[in-house]
Chain A
Amino acid sequence: MCLIARHLEANGIPTLCLGSAFDILSAGLPPRAMFVDYPLGHSAGKPFDRVDQEYIVRSALNGFNSLKKPGQIGVIDSDWGSVDWKNDASATAGEDTRQPRDTRPQYQFEEDRIAAEKI
């Protein structure tokens, strides 16, 4: 995402990256970034929590005004509510959680495959 943001910005489009991995944002150094300390998969908020989602996305967009220095990362003060997920996310042992590197489309449901192949 950082590479894409840099390319867009270099070609005249202001960008704001919203992410939940502070170290990856710090390394990739996109032009503007807002960080929320949530588990990956929830950069735009908790499931079905419209108040939380709106707060996070609104805060992220405010970064267009508040971030003045290229590469700056702002922090959104939302709280996931527990830190248990960080233990799992920090585990360096265990099985590979990635799916096999397969070149066939990986549909979420079989009905998706049928719908896509009809078109």
Chain B
Amino acid sequence: MHVNYMEVIRKRYENLGYQAYRWFVADDHPPWTPLRKKLSECKLGLLSTSGAYALGQIAYHYKDDSTVREIPSNTQPDDLRFSHITENYLVNPRKDPNCILPTETLHTLVRKKVVQSLADTVFSCMGGTYSQRRVKDEIAPEILKNFKRQDIDCALLVAM
């Protein structure tokens, strides 16, 4: 049985006297772009919504931060950091970033020819942005612009 996070969080906030959390619930079919190459011929882009940043970069703040970090994909795990409004989920990613920002895993899969390449930089944002408007109007277009610049063939998005 899967955890019903939406219902659990609704009830938890209700018990604490908070305003009801408004989840995004799609009311239409998602758009679709077919993959036109074999995966093994694709340049892959990566986005993690875990609030990852590299040493030397500015951390995220916890009030609807809609900024994006660009992180070299060969950054050493010791130089990767995380800040996310739900810090309780970061205990293990802070020890091994590959739990949630799988750059080393993807480099392995490039060596094994599962994908042709991983973009030189990967992206992160803080998924704990409550404003759907800011996600749509600020984060999503910024990620699109960056992925277009990288000329990737497809993107892996890893959720917190």
Given contacts A8-B144, A58-B109, A64-B35, is CB(A3)–CB(B24) below 8 Å?
A: yes
Residues in chain A near residue B88, CB distance under 8 A: 97
Interface size class of A (residues with CB under 8 A): 35 or more
Q: Which of A5, A24, A50, A106 contacts B60 (CB 8 A)?
A: A106
A25 to B4, CA, bound (A): 11
**A13 engages B56 (CB within 8 Å):** no
Q: Which of B33, B140, B154 contacts A4 (CB 8 A)?
A: B140
Q: Please, what's the 1-or-0 string for B57-68, where 1 marks a CB less than 8 Å from any CB in chain A?
A: 111111110000
Given contacts A1-B49, A61-B109, A112-B81, is CB(A44)–CB(B5) below 8 Å?
A: no
Specify which of A12, A62, A101, A119 lies most central, judged by the most chain B CB atoms within 10 Å of its CB: A101
Q: Please, what's the 1-or-0 string for A65-82, where 1 marks a CB less than 8 Å from any CB in chain B?
A: 100001100000000000
Specify which of A41, A93, A100, A101 lies most central, judged by the most chain B CB atoms within 10 Å of its CB: A41
Residues in chain A near residue B85, CB distance under 8 A: 98-99, 101
Q: Please, what's the 1-or-0 string for A7-29, where 1 marks a CB less than 8 Å from any CB in chain B?
A: 11111111111111111110111
A104 to B65, CA, bound (A): 10
Residues in chain A near residue B26, CB distance under 8 A: 2, 6, 27-29, 71
A109 to B59, CA, bound (A): 10
Residues of B within 8 A of A (CB): 1-8, 11-13, 15-16, 18, 23-26, 29-35, 39, 44-45, 47, 49-50, 53, 55-64, 81-83, 85-96, 98-102, 105-106, 108-109, 114-115, 125, 127-128, 132, 135-136, 139-141, 143-144, 147-148, 152-160
Residues of A within 8 A of B (CB): 1-25, 27-31, 37, 39-48, 50, 53-54, 57-58, 60-62, 64-65, 70-71, 86, 89-94, 96-109, 111-113, 115-116, 118-119
What are 7 A-B contacts with C-beta separation under 8 Å? A13-B154, A45-B98, A46-B92, A92-B12, A103-B61, A105-B60, A105-B61
